[in-house]
Amino acid sequence: MINRPLNAFDGNSLVRLADIQTAAAQPYDTIIRKIRMVIKSETRLWRKILPECDAIPDGIKIRIKEQVAVGDALKHYWKNFGSYERWRQAKNSMFLPRVQGVFDYLAQQADNHTGLVNWIADHTACLADAFKAVASLYSAAAGRRTASIRTAISAADPDWARARSLSQAAVRAIRSTAGVSAVLVGMRRTDYVDDILAELQNPVQTADRAGSWETL
């Protein structure tokens, strides 16, 4: 049984064996400006909007201020995530859950203050813009790395070369190797499931592929 074949490691660095959308790195001053817009939006919430929301207890307002403070963290650490995967993990495991919790709570209070609805929409767009800007700093290098891995997999075995994506190639390399009876992929999103189901539609012969693995 093979566990989580799309999470590879090079030393202490996690390498996600999946294609990513790459973009040219945005200029530093642009990234800084977009992060400042997030901070400005957060400040607008707790200085101007929340004080007018009488239905929200003061203790909850303090917690909201703490939870929504993503901009300050980005301001200090946006150049220090080290890799696209570390950035992606921070965004998906730390930043987004914190902010989504605030959004969910404030949406329930929207009937008492119409400004909350507008702020949620504006802040969602503001955050997405800043996240995209920070991601651009890391995605280009990650794209070059995954392209190199995909080339190596394709060169190692002709059956592996026919896979349509890097994630499918990684799964195919394992499921086509004699001795493997199960592969636990860990699919947490619909697009992950669709990607693997598409791969399983393509039959591949199980064989002793020691030579292919040695080449890889």
Q: Which pair of tokens denotes residue 79? A: 């150049």
Predicted confidence (pLDDT) per residue in 35-51, tens digit: 999 999 999 999 999 99
**Look-up: residue for tokens 């329930």?**
108
Q: Which amino acid is at 26?
A: Q
User: What is the model's pLDDT at position 73?
Assistant: 93
Mean pLDDT, residues 137-162 taken together: 92
Domain boundaries, the chain: 23-145, 158-215
Amino acid 159: pLDDT: 95
Query: Average pLDDT, stretch 134-158?
Result: 91
pLDDT attached to residue 95 = 94
Mean pLDDT of 55-75: 92
Of 9-18, 137-146, 161-170, the range with the lowest mean pLDDT is 9-18
Radius of gyration of the chain (CA): 22
Rounded to whole angstroms, the Cα distance separating 39 from 123 reads 10
Q: What is the pLDDT of residue 31?
A: 95
What per-residue confidence (pLDDT) applies to 9? Answer: 84
